[in-house]
Amino acid sequence: MAINPLLEIRQLCVDFTSNGNTSRALHHVDLTVNPGEIVAIVGESGSGKSVTSLSVLRLLPQPPAIYCSGQILFDTGNGVTDLLKADEEMLQSLRGSRIAMIFQEPMTSLNPVLTCGYQVTEAIMQHRKITKEEARERALALFEKVQLPDPGQMFSRYPHQLSGGQKQRVMIAMAMSCEPSLLICDEPTTALDVTVQKNILLLIKELQQQNGMGVIFITHDLGVVAEIADRVVVMYRGRIVEENTTAALMNQPAHPYTRALLACRPARHPKGERLPVVSDFMDADGNEKPPPSVLPAAEDHFISKSSDATLLKVEDLHVYYPGRKTFLGKVTSYTRAVDHVSFELKEGETLGLVGESGCGKSTLGRAILQLQPATGGRIFYKGTELLGAAPSTIRSLRRDMQIIFQDPYSSLNPRISIGSAIAEPLAVHGIIKDARQRREKVNELLEKVNLSPDHYNRYPHEFSGGQRQRIVIARALALNPSFVICDESVSALDVSVQAQVLNLLNDLKKEFGFTAIFISHDLSVVRYISDRIMVMNKGKIEESGLAEEVYNSPQSAYTQRLIASIPGGKA
């Protein structure tokens, strides 16, 4: 007996208008989701994944969005309805009730001034005729179902008081509150730790099986797809280029774009080998190129060369934050963000620093650079003790110690052109006083990070996430530093863009010879880029050693759990 589709998208075309110009975002998209099936939509940013999912709920503002043609047929339980022709009242009754959505960033999806419990009960009462107390009981049961610790306490907390993984669980509870028949998950695990990500994926799969829902799962990571999806749809430039069962697509990808997405994951490549990127498989017009050589040329391998000289020495470093206080303001407990950490870093070495959110990675990096006050311990940089050093000493070292932050958009001034942003440190430190020479230096740096001098006068919002990350890298290297900290600098990027940035970092490290600490929660990326790995857990060093040894033979149970949580396995 044939199963009627839960959702059927037929020949959907969507345009966007801006300043009198029209561009097509979706080209004749066909997609079917059956009851009890998880369909993954895979592709890079701009491929049309989110436009497709937002079109189902008609969440795209009109204008600028224009639904040119096609149908979105949904089985409401009382018959099949074309959602593109449904009136606002019908859509309002379906949103959250029959069709629910989990967005990528839970903090922007939750109201910061309302408690988590209130927001979930409000969603329940919007679609169910029950009392406030019954809604509260249902919300608490959902909090327990999504494995939130101490549901009663979580109910009365505000979003900012929860971790990223906990906020995402609240969003899942809200989405599941009215037992929808279709759940749309738009990159719900992108910026989460691998262990939290694995728990979220297991939770979504478990709830889907219990309720027999259809699920659309949007991601750019084929490793995540391997964990959760029954069927995969690959999108490229607004078109569906390939569709197959998960196993068949993973083992025998037919389209060059799919092969590129699978090939560029760092877990598949030995340290120092140049990562393939989409341009190796397809030209700018989307046509297939001859496949790249399986074995890269010898010059495509880069192994960093560290010396015996110690660049950085950290002794017994600790950073404590005040916790609970008495009524009179006396601190009674502390959060030990960094708890008596000691290590050394050799010149030319890349040290990978890994661990879950809240383990102290970023705090340690900022404390080394004196961007975060340390509670105690000692930090020596090229023999100079940094803690307690005069401000003039720290200022003189600033040009030699740089940081690349996780979010390039928030670390660039939106009102300053990217050329001016890169030139600013050259002017501040008095390295190049002539404006014309500064511009020449900036143009040279832009070319080194594969951008054009023509980009000099453009602003941050005019660039993609990967391009903005290149701009931040160029700014960090403008002063030719000896030491660079990369703080989660590739964690939110598409896998293909991530491969480009990792290749770029290897190229620049080869050219400039700087020493680096690479902070990440992704062990496969850290293993690829680093000489040594140091694993942090609850402010302490859990394990450290050569990158391949820690990755392939972890000694600590915590490290073993991190590696076991890598989506799609280690390859």
pLDDT of residue 164: 67
Residue 30: which pLDDT band, with cuts at 50, 70 and 90?
Answer: very high
For residue 352, pLDDT beyond 90: yes
pLDDT of residue 293: 55
pLDDT of residue 11: 92
Residue 303: which pLDDT band, with cuts at 50, 70 and 90?
Answer: low
User: Is residue 138 within 8 Å of residue 221, measured between CB atoms?
Assistant: no
pLDDT of residue 345: 93
Sign of CA dihedral 238, 240, 246, 250: negative
pLDDT of residue 298: 38
The domain locations on the chain are 1-98+180-253, 110-179, 408-480
pLDDT of residue 245: 93
pLDDT of residue 307: 65
* 116-127 helix and 132-145 helix, angle to the nearest 10 degrees: 120
For residue 320, pLDDT beyond 60: yes
User: Is residue 539 within 8 Å of residue 497, measured between CB atoms?
Assistant: no
* DSSP 8-state class, residue 162: S
Mean pLDDT, the chain, integer: 84
pTM greater than 0.75 (yes/no):
yes
Owner of token pair 């999504």: 146
Mean pLDDT for the stretch of residues 407-433: 85
Judge residue 486's burial from the number of C-beta atoms within 10 Å of its C-beta, 0-12 exposed, 13-18 middle, 19 or more buried: buried
| CA–CA separation, 317 and 514 (whole Å) | 23
For residue 205, pLDDT beyond 60: yes
Chain Cα centroid distance, residue 208: 24
Q: Which fold has domain 1-98+180-253?
A: Rossmann fold (3.40.50)
Residue 191: which pLDDT band, with cuts at 50, 70 and 90?
Answer: low
Q: What is the pLDDT of residues 220-233, one digit of tens each?
A: 777 788 888 899 99
Residue 118: which pLDDT band, with cuts at 50, 70 and 90?
Answer: very high
For residue 306, pLDDT beyond 70: no
Mean pLDDT for the stretch of residues 289-311: 60
For residue 299, pLDDT beyond 50: no
| CA–CA separation, 326 and 321 (whole Å) | 15
Mean pLDDT for the stretch of residues 326-354: 86
3-state helix, strand, coil in the chain (%, to 5): 35, 25, 35
| CA–CA separation, 303 and 355 (whole Å) | 24
Mean pLDDT for the stretch of residues 436-451: 87
